[in-house]
Amino acid sequence: MIAFFVLAAATTCRALRPPTAATTPVRSAAGIRLAGSQRQRDLRTVTTDDSNDSVPTPAHGRSLAQLPNVVVSPAAGFPQESEAAKEPPRPLGEAVRQSLETGPLEALAADAQFAGRTISKMAIASADEVAQGHFLGAFAAATSALSTELEGEDKGKGASFGISMVFVLTSACWIAELVLAKFWNGENQDDVREASESRLFLHALSFARYLMAWHVVLNHFAYGGYTAEQTSMVGEPWAVFCRWGVLAAPWFYMVSGFTNSYSKLVGSQPNVEEDFIHAMIKRGLSWYPFYLIALIWCAIRVATSEAEDWAHFMAHTFTIHGLVWDKESFPFLTGDVWLSWLIAYMLTWAPFHSAMADGTEQAKDSFIWTVFYMSFVIAIPSAILEWIWFAGFPLYSMVQLWPSFAFGQALAFWFVKNCMEQRELQVGPSGVAVMTQPVWVRKKVNEIPVLVRFGATISITIFGLMFFTFSPHDIVPLFGKPVLPLIQKGFQLPFQGLMVVGFAAEVDPLAKLFARRPFRFAEKLTLMTFLFQVPIYNTINDWMGWSSGMTWTFVACLVSFTVAAHFLVERPYRQWRGDRERGENWKESLAALHK
């Protein structure tokens, strides 16, 4: 999976070369910074080729990709509609039908051979650089080899290569975990075993969060960014893969609902009710100070003297902007609408958790499965209403994604009941063991549902095939509307839920691999990666005079900054609050047992 995301980043970084004047017009840092009110108003709108109407910049209250495909105009210096966007949209699943016409077995064999040859050349090129001590050069060599192989290939071949990579990389992860489990019996393996049995923390799910954060970064900045609505006919296969980063929003909401309810259920006070406002503030303070820093950073960069801009800034500060406005505004921190909605969802967490925790076991099961069914079925009327009336309406968009959060809460109750059990933990010297209070642990493997045991592999395979088969902007037959509202706001929930419980159980070989060191420590960088992607991206482009595009410079700076920010800022803050160290288990429960 790491290689999968590295390949996506590599194909977007263009062999470590930043955008040049030959490919994209360059805007200077001075041209980006705003000196007055008129320039601030210019930044809020872009001009299209078709008309003089103003089109909003990436909008709050919408999905991450709902604006026309744009390019930078040398004359105006602002994005304009590209010719590719004028091509007719591609019907959903056309790539699949075309591949079947050529013979599925022959096409599959050719795709597998092409994928194997490409991966082999990338590995050889990287190994040569590493042997000479050029570790950064290894990435450049792999990128160059990949670009050479894909050069001149049609979009169908690129999509087939991506689909083949899904199977190749998942198989490689399985093999790697089986080999490590057999031959690596040192301290790290003991840590993995402890992480699988002690359910106080979910290491595999933490690394999945980090990968999902990078999918968001790819969606924001790769192949024209999330304003480029590439269909599977117009966009390159890797561009379509990047656009599927729009599914990160409901996935993160689901994980938030799951982990908060899970921690409550297996904690020391599962039956103590929390005030809904206190619960929201307590959990929101874990990330709000860093969000505020990112917001101020963006405000300093494009500061103006207009009162309207600072009114928008205050709305962002109080996390209410995404509830009122659907257009992105000063200070242009892309993606902060997700946090505005998360605050609203957290207000519902405590009452919803209490409702599911009350009653008989039969009543709880009925409530949980009602949530599962309704969260899925409601996607159909929700999408139809968006297509017809409510597109871009912020409050409606927020309500559309709330089922993902509720689904995660219900999933935590289901997971604890079906995949975990309480056991009496013995603590003390050998022969003088003392019986202590019950502790939640994972059930025996054969008692866990089969789908959960292989949930991580199944879900990743399904999403991988989907990401290279069609685009979120392809057209739904009969309706003539984009498929995104259906896939993002309900239909994806069963598969995302399967992914969450699959990683949480840590029985699937893929989940076991993600739970190992050093992958588990990636959780330390997830929050900072998401919050500071836009400030770092803008700062790098200002300093270098670049206009847009993913570059290795940006990737390296973002990784370096997130590492430094975690250890210098986030870690001391969490210690001051008494929060768990990211990437580590809670120690207080066992410590309390020794007292």
Q: Quick one: pLDDT at residue 580?
A: 73
Q: How many residues in the chain? A: 595
Q: What whole-number distance in Å separates Cα of residue 9 and Cα of residue 12? A: 5
pLDDT value of residue 526: 94
- Give CA–CA dist 331/517, Å, rounded: 38
CB 289 within 8 A of CB 573: yes
Q: List per-residue pLDDT tens for the chain, 595 residues long.
A: 545 444 554 444 443 333 333 333 333 333 333 333 333 334 333 333 333 333 333 333 333 333 333 333 333 333 333 444 444 444 444 444 454 445 555 655 665 566 666 667 777 776 776 666 665 566 566 656 665 665 555 555 667 888 888 999 999 999 999 999 888 754 444 444 444 344 457 889 989 999 999 999 999 999 888 777 777 777 688 889 999 999 999 999 999 999 999 999 988 788 888 999 999 999 999 999 999 999 999 999 999 999 999 999 999 999 999 999 988 899 999 989 999 999 999 999 999 999 999 888 999 999 999 999 999 999 999 999 999 999 889 999 999 999 999 999 999 999 999 999 887 766 555 555 555 667 888 899 999 999 999 999 999 999 999 999 999 999 988 888 999 999 999 999 999 999 999 999 999 999 999 998 889 888 889 999 999 999 999 999 999 888 777 888 999 999 999 999 999 999 999 999 888 777 665 444 444 433 3
Residue 104 has phi, psi (to 5 degrees) of -65, -40
Q: Which among 130, 23, 140 has a CA at the least distance from the CA of 552?
A: 140
Q: Which tokens go with 265? A: 């259920």
Neighbours of 338 (CB within 10 A): 17
Residues with Cβ < 8 Å from 561, sequence gap 6 or more?
528, 532, 536
Q: Which of 132, 113, 150 is nearest to 10 (CA)?
A: 150
* Model confidence, pTM: 0.76
- H, E, C per residue of 129-190: HHHCCCHHHHHHHHHHHHHHHHCCCCHHHHHHHHHHHHHHHHHHHHHHHHHHHHHCCCHHHH
User: In this predicted structure, what is the pLDDT of residue 141?
Assistant: 67
